[in-house]
Structures are given as structure tokens and as C-alpha cells.
A and B are shown apart, each in its own frame.
Chain A
Amino acid sequence: MARVAREMVEKAGINVDQLVELLVKNAAAELTTYYYYTILRCNLIGLEGEGIKEIAEVARIEDRNHFEALVPRIYELGGKLPENMKTFHDISACPPARLPKDPTDIKAMLTVLVEAERCAVRGYTHICNLTAGKDHRTYDLSQAILNEEIEHESWFSEFLGEGPSGHFMRRGESSPFVSKFLR
């Protein structure tokens, strides 16, 4: 634990235990999403599915990166991950991104993907709102993750025809915002 770092956050008026619980739940959401996206990606086949597979894979890898980036902050603040993987799964901040009944229904696949990203966007916005001006490091991390989650949402939303976002698929390395926390 980073004792003084935690103390500073407490002194800024944040309930650190609550914040840690939020971070753990969001870390659970990232890792479970990584798992469920693996299944979704495997089932993105055929002419339509193959067109989405690459961005689903980027989102999958970046969600795993988000998990990796969140873990040190949880421990710095005196928290820890549950010892039991099933417990960890069940406390996720977002519902499981389960494979739809008909995996050939691309709209249903995209809906699962976009809803997962929207849950994440709400979750990190919530953490940013809580920590802004008070816990600079958690804010910086959450904002970096939020930037990537918004891009994921935009990609899937565009495939659903909800309107243009101005984004294009990743060029270069994955996690352009979060990578600084992974070095």
C-alpha cells in the first residue's frame, strides 16, 4: 500500500474504501469482458462477422489492458482483489457480455458489444466525477480508460448505424491512452 498516497486521497474528502470497491468492481468488469469478448470474437464469422472481428479484438485486448492498469491502483490504495475468481466475476460493475442466442445475428452481437462499452463509459465517468480534483492519479487513470471506452463505443455504434462518430479503427499500438500506466 502507498500509505501517504492513500492518506492524501482521504484528506481530499474521498471515502477510499468505497473508491477501492468501485475500482475492484470495474477491474472485474474489464477482465470478465475480456473473457466474454473472446467468445464473441470467435463467433464473429461470415461476411458480416469478419468485418467486425478486428475491432472486437482491439476492444478485447484494450479491456484486458484496463484490468492490468487498474490493479496497481487498487493495491496502492490499500485494496486487494478477491482470492476467488468466481467471486471476482460476480461482483463485476457491468453485466456479462454473453454470446447472443443466435451468434449469426450480427445486430445482436453488436448490441452486446455496444452495451458493454456503454456500461464502461458510465462507470468511468462516475469514477472521474468522484475523483476530479481530489485523487489525481485515479482520475488520470480513469480518464485514460474512459477515452478508450468511448472509442470502443463509437466503433460498435457506427456499425449499428446509429450515426457517425468521426473515429477510425486503431492505427499503431493498442491502448494509446492507457499504455503509460502499463510501462
Chain B
Amino acid sequence: MKKFLLEEVAQCNGKNGNPVYVLFKGKVYDVSASFLWKDGTHQVLHSAGVDLTNALEQAPHGRDVLEKFPVVGILHDAGMSSTQSKP
């Protein structure tokens, strides 16, 4: 599975024809096909290309919504990421 640097994920922000990737617990999800991530933004407040681990904890939906989308890679330094601390 491809290993991404944070900077690489950040480029996949849905702008200028880029795919829409989000990071959750060290995994990179491709949400380009989601109606709710059009143009790389979700519910006005959330942007693609960033780590949404903390945001998802507060969201009015569970991780199951995200898990419908393909995982295209993992964070290169996932072992050191604070996002890995929670199960």
C-alpha cells in the first residue's frame, strides 16, 4: 500500500482537479466520489487533504460513513503520529 507524506495528502484537496483525500487514524481515504465532499470541502467547515481524526470524533456520524470509501494508502510516519494513539 502506498505510503503518503502529510504534504502529499495535503495536495489532494479537491482543488484544480486534484483528488479528494482525507486522513483518518493513519489511513488515507479517497472520498472523491462523495457528493458531500464536492470541491474538497465538507459541511463548510472541513477541508480535504488534512487529518480528520479529531474532527470525526466530534462529527454527527461515525467512522462507518468514511469506511465506505477506498483506502488508497497510509501515512508514511503513521507510527509516530498522535492520530494513532486511539484505537
A contacts, CB < 8 Å to B: 18, 21-22, 25, 93-96, 119, 121-123, 125-126, 129
Q: What does the 1/0 interface line of B36-77 toward A look like (CB < 8 Å)?
A: 100000011100000000000011110000000000000000
Q: Across the interface, which residues of A come within 8 angstroms of B43, CB to CB?
A: 22, 25, 93, 123, 126
Could you tell me if A95 and B45 are in contact, using CB atoms closer than 8 angstroms? Answer: no
Could you tell me if A18 and B60 are in contact, using CB atoms closer than 8 angstroms? Answer: no
Question: How many Å lie between the Cα of A96 and that of B45 in the bound state?
Answer: 21
Question: How many Å lie between the Cα of A123 and that of B43 in the bound state?
Answer: 8
- Count of B interface residues, CB-CB < 8 Å: 9
Question: How many Å lie between the Cα of A181 and that of B15 in the bound state?
Answer: 38
Q: Across the interface, which residues of B come within 8 angstroms of A93, CB to CB?
A: 36, 43
Q: Known contacts being A18-B44, A25-B44, is A95 close to B60, with CB within 8 Å?
A: no
Tell me the interface secondary structure of chain B in the complex. loop
Could you tell me if A125 and B45 are in contact, using CB atoms closer than 8 angstroms? Answer: no
Interface residues of B in 22-42 (CB under 8 A from A): 35-36
Q: Known contacts being A18-B44, A22-B43, A22-B44, is A126 close to B36, with CB within 8 Å?
A: no
Question: How many Å lie between the Cα of A95 and that of B38 in the bound state?
Answer: 11
Could you tell me if B36 and A95 are in contact, using CB atoms closer than 8 angstroms? Answer: yes
Which 3 A-B pairs have CB atoms at the shortest separation, nearest pair first?
A125-B60, A95-B35, A122-B60
Which of B35, B44, B45, B60 has the largest number of chain A CB atoms within 10 A? B44
Could you tell me if A18 and B45 are in contact, using CB atoms closer than 8 angstroms? Answer: yes
Q: Across the interface, which residues of B come within 8 angstroms of A96, CB to CB?
A: 35
Residue of A nearest to B61 (CB): A122
Q: Across the interface, which residues of A come within 8 angstroms of B59, CB to CB?
A: 126
Give the shortest distance, in Å, between B26 (CB) and chain A (any CB): 25
